[in-house]
Homo-oligomer: A and B are copies of this chain.
Amino acid sequence: MKNIYIIGVGLIGGSLAIDIKKKNPDVTIHGIDRQEETLDIALSLNLIEKKAILDDVVNADLVILSVPVDATVKLLPTVLDLISDKSLVVDAGSTKEDICKVVENHPKRRNFLAMHPIAGTEHSGPHAAIPELFVGKTNIICEVEKTAFKLQEKALKLFADIGMRIRYMNPQAHDKHIAYMSHLSHISSFMLGKTVINKEKNERDIFDMAGSGFESTVRLAKSSPEMWTPIFEQNKTNVIETLEAYIANLTQFKEFMEKDDFEAIFKEMKDTNYIKDILNVIV
């Protein structure tokens, strides 16, 4: 592998660039981005070695698409049109069904591997890129059987080298489960932030209290709307289902309080403490 093209050099693309270059010092990392300024920053931060444009992917051994998922759906067929027969294209999108669907009949479908590396922070852009973001994290691969075997091998080695463990899932299951595990967490955090800002925005001193749980729970509300709006749009049905379940649980909790049923409140929390066991297993 000689030439890697990263389309979208932000948090994920930039962090992948750092770790891949470290493990593969002989490759050249090329950056492609809608915004020239992002590329200049990525160059100055040594995330990429060369600036490139979309047509250059004809020279790619590997193309990584790490752009918002609406841009992925638009760009992916074009990228597959452009690449050579031996190239591998992967994406890093937080949805998988629409992305897999848009190329299901593409003549170069076997050059594409659909991925979701479960890693990130609430920050975005090239400045947010950090080394070792992916160590010990899960990389979900969808429709692995639709990718050429040699290209699968290449991808698996690359992502194992930067410390990721691999899980396989179909795109429908991925989008359903990630709605609960990630998309709902983001909405709960955004709406928590909104609720508190609406009430408290004129009382700056109040935010001295943020250490009491608010600061960590609202962390995801710093996330990029440019990235998250198309995720919610593509995963609309699943996300609405999670929101209905979440709102029903919150409403029931409120009703228990209104009825002074604090035994039920206790039980709600005690039962949910089970999350400790679940998360301990995976850490």
Contacts and interface: CB of A to CB of B under 8 A. Distances in A.
Interface of A: 94, 118-120, 137-138, 140, 165, 167, 177-178, 180-182, 184-201, 203-223, 225-226, 228-230, 232-233, 236, 239-240, 242-247, 249-251, 253-254, 257-258, 260, 262, 265-276, 278-279, 281-282
B197 A249 contact: no
Contacts of A198: 245, 249
A127 to B, nearest CB: 14
A120 to B, nearest CB: 7
B278 A195 contact: no
Most B CB within 10 A of own CB, among A177, A192, A251: A192
Contacts of A186: 213
Contacts of A267: 225
Most B CB within 10 A of own CB, among A137, A190, A266: A190
A221 B273 contact: yes
A194 to B, nearest CB: 5
B218 A216 contact: no
Given A192-B246, A205-B167, A266-B229, A275 B184 contact: no
A269 B223 CA distance: 8
Nearest to A243: B254
A133 to B, nearest CB: 10
